[in-house]
């Protein structure tokens, strides 16, 4: 098993129940469409696997009555479920229930896509051994646009991609449609993802030319029956680069007309094109600043072009500049907050979960909840730019869950981020979530087999941002590997603890951005100087003989003032701030005492050691799983876990060797001394990591 089948393994169920068998044996699907055909194929595939172990004579025996009925509500003759309940399902929701009279399992919806989602859910339930509750299941997505952002370049490299090359083969498109495009769409549909941004946020305007639009159209045609819309990144300077205009000024009439024509052209190719994602005025990307215009001027110009066709603009808030003297943490908020209410209705602001950049842990972005008149969407990074790339296991559900549950206090207590992004806090209809994809040409899609779980989690949480990590992990393990509880329970625990483990051996107690320069793999607390201070480690940890940490309170950058009062109070005080954010907001002496009575230095060292100990323990634990799953995936994960354990030591040793030159303190009991001196760690070249 090479993992290609992801969580859609459909391995045989042990002792299937009568309900499971009859549901998969005798079904009726009403309707005709490409989506209905996909549903049929899915059921056949699932049945061939899930009940393959039962006696073939039983399997082939057709009952006259169907045990499972899949049909749109309008095609059913059902008075059992009131119409209103179904109309609330909207266009993508579904219902699954047991029909009292006929005893059939019914999957119904208002659309074929709803039926597809319902079918996938039913099959997942059958695989993991769940039964349909008496009251039935009524599910509607809480977020409308659930999109993957591919940071894929047209030459098939993937920015921050660690699982091979881009799966979009632009050269062969549109004439060759690879089976993998279907498999990709199917996998996404199975977890509710309904949009894909094909291209990197560091955009190439070529993708907006006819030659590429034909290729994009070919992909859109594949994805459509799976309920997936295609979006593109729009390079702000495209009117100059491909339109031969002298400017890209958003207030220039020719520029506006150019975008309008471009939108019209795109919709001729792709009538249900989703819209644009834009990274402007950030890390060298052009934007409205080049013309002394605001982010709203830029976003609204594009929104106006897309508006006649129902397209949207996802305008990224990741705007910061090395020429702005202020703390990078504060810049996006300062830029966008004054523009609240100034964006057109089809603009949504795409905000990363934290104010810096996808760190193993970040306090939530202060923009969430702070712009009541503007829809805001969440951007998570599924690919692990700062969390050990492909080789380090980090199950990200706890990271996502932690952020989504944070209380912004913007409308008083209970103003969780999930409510900001599902539109309920400030009554917005336009809602979205983006996940920077971790998908590549590797056979198993994501490099580490366990990183499939992060793609899976993203889809599930975009559908319902109130889900909890433990349930997701359990279900994913059962779908992907086995239902054997001797495997599922310990490995679920391993997954759930893995992100905190990474935080411990990389950036404990609120440390951040101390990864190696540029590629961000491995430790680099010594990174300093160079082109941009805000891309160095020393900018963020501020370690010196007097202490460590970034003072973001009133005595420092005062980024804290961007949060609601209760947060300012809680985090502004070293006694009450959760220790996990301590050094994000405070600069403290090495001798500062933490809650456990030990010094800051001792605590830093203890956290690093803890991370290492856990990474080593994971290898041992995994070894006891041999034979419980297929050998291929077992061995793959085994070697990656070993890499992780070795590199956790590398992280600990490098960071402690570096910080101890300032703390000048010995390591506490139980913390192993670095094996080498600091110069040795500094000399390690990217990805050239010594074994231990």
Closest C-alpha to 564, from 350, 402, 423, 407? 407
Least distance (Å) from ligand BDP to the CB of residue 197?
A: 12
Question: In whole angstroms, what is the distance from residue 570 CA to residue 541 CA?
Answer: 21
- Residue number with CB closer to ligand BDP (318 or 659): 318
d(CA 624, CA 118): 37
**Tokens 């999957």 map to which residue?**
107
Which residue of the chain is nearest ligand BDP when measured via CB?
357
Whole-angstrom distance, CA of residue 459 vs CA of residue 190: 9
CA atoms within 13 A on the CB side of 10: 21
Query: How many angstroms separate the CA atoms of 498 and 493, rounded?
Result: 8
The least CB distance from residue 482 to ligand BDP, in Å, is 35
Nearest distance from C-beta of residue 634 to ligand BDP, angstroms: 33
Give catalytic status of residue 112 as yes or no.
Answer: no
Given a contact cutoff of 8 angstroms between Cβ atoms, the answer to whether 316 and 279 are in contact is yes
357 a catalytic residue: yes
Of residues 160 and 215, the one with the C-beta less far from ligand BDP: 160
| Minimum gap (Å) between residue 144 Cβ and ligand BDP | 22
**Dist. CA 672–CA 670, nearest whole Å:** 6
Distance from the Cα of residue 238 to its chain's centroid: 28
Which is nearer to ligand BDP, 93 or 440 (by Cβ)? Answer: 440
Give least dist CB 201 to ligand BDP, A. Answer: 5
- Give the number of other Cβ atoms within 10 Å of residue 550's Cβ: 24
Look at strands 137-139 and 145-149 and give their pairing.
unpaired
Identify the active-site residue in 357, 402, 474, 551: 357
Region of residue 380 (phi > 0: left; psi between -120 and 50: alpha; otherwise: beta): beta
499 to 358, 394, 418: CA distances (angstroms): 13, 5, 20
For 305-359, give the DSSP string: HHGGGT-EEEEE---B-TTS-S-HHHHHHHHHGGGTT-S-TTEEEEEESBSSS--
CB 327 to ligand BDP: min, Å: 17
List CB contacts of 400: < 8 A, sequence separation 6 or more: 353, 380, 457, 458, 461, 469
Cα 460 from Cα 476, distance rounded (Å): 11
CB atoms within 10 A of CB 159: 15
Based on CB atoms, which residue is closest to ligand BDP, 97 or 521? 521
Q: What whole-number distance in Å separates Cα of residue 656 and Cα of residue 679? A: 13
- Least separation, in Å, of the C-beta of 314 and ligand BDP? 13
Least Å from the CB of residue 503 to ligand BDP: 17
Helical pair 179-190 and 34-50, crossing angle rounded to 10 deg = 80
Query: Pairing relation of β-strands 137-139 and 275-278?
Result: unpaired
Q: Which is nearer to ligand BDP, 249 or 281 (CB)?
A: 281
How many contiguous H segments (helices) and E segments (strands) does the chain have?
22, 13
Give the nearer residue to ligand BDP in terms of CB position, either 202 or 568: 202
Q: Count Cβ neighbours within 10 Å for each residue of 594-632 and write b for 16 or more, e otherwise.
A: beeeebbbbbbbbbbbbbbbbbbebbeebeebeeebbee
3-state SS string for 110-172:
CCHHHHHHHHHHHHHHHHHCCCCCCCCEEECCCCCEEEEECCECCCCCECCCCCCCCCCCCCC
Q: Which of 159, 178, 252, 283 is catalytic?
A: 283
Closer CB to ligand BDP, 69 or 355, in the complex: 355
What residues line the site for ligand BDP (CB under 6 A)? 159-160, 201-202, 279, 282-283, 318, 357-358, 385
Query: Measured from the CB atom, is 114 or 366 closer to ligand BDP?
Result: 366
Least gap, CB of 535 to ligand BDP (angstroms): 9
Q: 385, 422, 474, 613: which is the annotated catalytic residue? A: 385
500 φ/ψ angles, rounded to the nearest 5 degrees: -65, -35
Cβ distance to ligand BDP smaller for residue 169 or 202: 202
- Going from the C-alpha of 118 to that of each of 70, 112, 141, 471, 604, the distances in angstroms are 9, 10, 12, 19, 48
Question: Smallest gap, in angstroms, from Cβ of residue 293 to ligand BDP?
Answer: 20
Q: Euclidean distance between the first and final Cα of the chain, in Å?
A: 30
Taking each helix axis from N to C end, the angle separating 179-190 and 112-128, rounded to the nearest 10 degrees, works out to 80
**Given the complex with ligand BDP, which of 37 and 159 has the nearer CB atom?**
159
- Quick one: 201 or 479, whose CB is closer to ligand BDP? 201
Minimal distance, residue 592 CB to ligand BDP, in Å: 31
37 is annotated as an active-site residue: no
Pick between residue 111 and residue 149 the one whose CB is nearest to ligand BDP: 149
Residue of 241, 270, 275, 273 lying closest to 255 (CA atoms): 241
Smallest separation (angstroms) from ligand BDP to the CB of 349: 14
Active-site amino acid positions: 283, 357, 385
């Amino acid at each position: 098993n090479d993992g290609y089948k992801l969580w859609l393994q459909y391995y045989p169920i042990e002792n299937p129940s009568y309900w499971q068998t009859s549901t998969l044996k005798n079904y009726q699907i009403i309707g005709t469409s490409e989506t209905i055909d996909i549903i049929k194929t899915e059921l056949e595939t699932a049945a061939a696997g899930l009940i393959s172990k039962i006696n073939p004579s039983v399997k082939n025996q057709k009952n006259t009555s169907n045990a499972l009925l899949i049909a749109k509500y309008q095609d059913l003759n059902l008075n059992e479920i009131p119409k209103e309940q179904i109309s609330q399902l909207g266009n993508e929701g579904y219902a699954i229930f047991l029909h009292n009279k006929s005893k059939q399992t019914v999957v119904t919806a208002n659309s074929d896509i709803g039926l597809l989602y319902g079918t996938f859910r039913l099959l997942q339930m059958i695989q993991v051994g769940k039964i349909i509750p008496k009251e039935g299941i009524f599910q509607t997505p809480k977020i409308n646009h659930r999109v993957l952002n591919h940071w894929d370049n047209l030459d098939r490299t993937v920015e921050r991609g660690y699982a091979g090359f881009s799966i979009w083969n632009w050269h062969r498109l549109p004439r060759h449609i690879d089976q993998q495009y279907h498999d990709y769409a199917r996998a996404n549909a199975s977890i509710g993802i309904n949009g894909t941004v094909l291209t990197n946020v560091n955009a190439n305007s070529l993708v907006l030319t006819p030659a590429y639009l034909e290729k994009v159209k070919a992909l859109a045609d594949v994805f459509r029956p799976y309920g997936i819309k295609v979006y593109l990144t729009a390079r702000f300077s495209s009117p100059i680069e491909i339109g031969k205009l002298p400017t890209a000024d958003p207030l220039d009439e020719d520029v506006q007309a150019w975008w309008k024509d471009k939108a019209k052209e795109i919709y001729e190719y792709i009538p249900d094109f989703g819209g644009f994602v834009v990274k402007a005025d950030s890390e060298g990307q052009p934007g409205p600043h080049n013309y002394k215009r605001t982010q709203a001027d830029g976003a609204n110009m594009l929104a106006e072009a897309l508006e006649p066709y129902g397209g949207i603009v996802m305008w990224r808030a990741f705007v910061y500049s090395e020429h702005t003297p202020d703390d990078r943490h504060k810049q996006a908020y300062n830029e966008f907050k004054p523009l609240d209410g100034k964006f057109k209705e089809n603009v949504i602001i795409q905000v990363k979960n934290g104010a810096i950049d996808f760190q193993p842990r970040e306090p939530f972005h202060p923009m969430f909840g702070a712009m009541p008149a503007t829809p805001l969407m969440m951007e998570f990074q599924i690919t692990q730019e700062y969390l050990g790339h492909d080789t380090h296991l980090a199950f990200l559900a706890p990271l996502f869950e932690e952020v989504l549950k944070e209380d912004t206090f913007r409308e008083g207590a209970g103003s969780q981020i999930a409510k900001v992004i599902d539109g309920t806090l400030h009554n917005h209809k336009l809602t979205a979530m983006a996940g920077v994809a971790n998908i590549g040409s590797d056979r198993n899609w994501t490099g580490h087999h366990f990183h499939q779980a992060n793609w899976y989690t993203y889809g599930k949480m975009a559908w319902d941002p109130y889900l909890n990590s433990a349930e997701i992990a359990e279900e994913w393990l059962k779908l992907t590997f086995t239902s054997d509880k001797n495997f599922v329970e310990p490995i679920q625990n391993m997954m759930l603890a893995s992100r905190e483990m990474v935080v411990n051996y990389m950036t404990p107690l609120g440390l951040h951005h101390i990864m190696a320069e540029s590629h961000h793999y491995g430790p680099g607390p010594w990174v300093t100087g160079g082109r941009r201070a805000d891309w160095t480690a020393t900018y963020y940890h501020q370690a010196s003989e007097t202490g460590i940490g970034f003072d973001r309170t009133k005595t420092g950058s005062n980024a804290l003032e961007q949060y609601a009062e209760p947060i300012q109070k809680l985090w502004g005080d070293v006694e009450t701030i959760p220790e996990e954010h301590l050094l994000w907001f405070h600069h403290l002496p090495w001798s500062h005492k933490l809650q456990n009575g030990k010094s800051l230095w001792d605590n830093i060292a203890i956290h690093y050691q803890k991370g290492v100990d856990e990474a080593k323990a994971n290898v041992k634990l995994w070894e006891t799983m041999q034979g419980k799953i297929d050998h291929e995936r077992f061995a793959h994960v085994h070697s990656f876990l070993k890499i992780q354990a070795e590199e956790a030591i590398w992280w600990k040793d490098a960071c402690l060797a570096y910080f101890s030159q300032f703390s000048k303190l010995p390591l506490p009991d139980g913390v192993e001394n670095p094996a080498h001196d600091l110069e040795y760690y500094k000399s390690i070249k990217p990805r050239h990591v010594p074994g231990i």
